[in-house]
Chains A and B, each alone.
Chain A
Amino acid sequence: MKRLMIAASAAVALAIASGPAGAQDKLKACFVYVGPHNDGGWSEGHETGRLMVDEKLGDKVETSYVENVPEGPDAERAIERLARSGCGIIFTTSFGFMDPTLKVAEKFPDVKFEHATGFKTADNVTTYNARFYEGRYIIGEIAAKMSKTGVAGYIVSFPIPEVIMGINAFMLGAQSVNPDFKVKIVWINSWFDPGKEGDAAKALFDQGADIIVQHTDSPAPLQIAQERGLHGFGQAHDMYDFAPKAQYTAIVDNWGPYYVRRIQDVLDGTWKSEASWDGLKEGTVLMSDYTNLPDDVAAEAEATEAAIIAGEFHPFTGPIFKQDGTEVIGEGEVLDDGALLGMNYYIKGIDGEIPQ
């Protein structure tokens, strides 16, 4: 009996000893989300990326996430807790986590940090973003080819450079097909409000738009388009299931390949701080299947996509003029990344003013 007990306690001790040791063999990759992991929009895009890491590197990496973390001081606490709990690399996936990320990074020099859509880096802090404007140029081309009224409706959230860059890229694409193409813009001051997005879509359709574009996250505008027998484009996710007759294509956020690459860098010991901005070429931005389109329009969209991927074409190639006609860049020149990230003007052909 006594011997049995000794054997048992030894087994327990062994189990305790080997438990943490086994876990330490794996790199811990942690993610911080601003919304719920299944918000159907921004945070879910990152969650899909995390799941890809599990799938590709599951034997070497252990992932976890914290959701619904508010931007601000609370974020610092959440990030710090992750850093203390032994995470080797932490991805903070919202713009408002920028300063908290840098503060925690200073205290934990051995932990790697990656902050999405920000502009402040450090030795152990990388920033990363995606070139969504590449997709917006393509949908601009499609919109101008498919529209009968020559007017698109564009639902937007907040007047930040990322959003304005998107509107301009869309119009550059549309103007390449139809120089007189018009866009009607409605700001709803929210990233996610299905009711309001739907109302905005109805208002824009009533005003003569026959194609809807959105820089907000819910599928409501596409549902309205389907109801009216009109069309639009999905945002962040393939929204085909919500509007199979209305969606031409969707600009899909695909963070997975980036996450896999960066975590592999940590495993290989080659991780360096950088400011990464990937697009269609690296697969961080994807175009979902071209549907409800005539073959020739779909083929031209695919051709533009291929040209961007091959590096033969950049959406912001001159000549580009501001609304008042002043030239931004001349024939054949290309806007650099700094100019894109600070964009605060509409290009020529867009009516209305950017809200201040």
Chain B
Amino acid sequence: MNRKWKHHAEAYLYISPSVILTVALGIYPILWALRYMFYDYKGYGEATFVGLYNFRRLFRDEYLWDAIWNTFVFAGGKMLLTLPVALLLAVILNGKLKGRNLLRGIYFMPTIFSTAVMAVVFYIIFNTYNGLLNQLLKLAGLPTLEWLGTEYAMLTCILIAAWGGIGNYMLLFLAGLQGIPKDVYESAELDGATGARRFWSITIPMLGPVLNIIMMLAIMSALESYEAIMVLTGGGPSGATEVMHLYLYKLLFPVSTGESMAQDIGYGSAVAMLLALIVGAITGIYLYLSRKLNDVHS
């Protein structure tokens, strides 16, 4: 008994740091937000119970819904651009290409850069007036664009996000590709299957489980990402790049009093809950559909 207890105590001691941190930094804030979404609380002074007021406000807050729409555009654009390019690169770099290890390193490099630094560098490149890109376009005799203006700011954000994400997904695809047995390709080759045929009939189906995980990660990260946008455009101009988590960030940690709303913990908590539900629902729907497709396929 004593020995058993000792054995358990040791185990609990080992896991206690992560349990304490999870409770303090994960569970407690969620419970805290669950409470405050029923209150009018500005971060100081007394919190006033307002019942469902913050939830009613969610439905009439057109800026929130604009931000949610922008998030779908951003996430859709990012995934459409990132995943095919990452897969293509992974397939190419999985072959017997000279210098492939160096290229893998180069493509992966953006993943290890700080998002804020990356955004500042891209600001210098995309800056409309004297940015590098427009200077190059001018030199080539092509028309320049307001890359960070209302019309193109979202496209620019998507391009930058894709640049930052491709290396990471390429690596995941590479791991998946290396799990496909070589003899399957060899048999296909003996049967006369071309490169494209091998890709569609072997690579894609056999990547299935990895693809599922990559898609899920891509969906979640695209829906939750806002850091680069915050540094690059601050959600502007005129809300053109305001994504839902940036909107939430401004509610909870307002940058200045004239900028967006002042601190509103109560409403912010309700928004946080809504956004968590949206991300959860989309991920859940994706998992459900992918499982259904797998069932059909098998």
The answer to whether A and B come from one shared complex is no
- A interface residues (Cβ-Cβ under 8 A, vs B): none
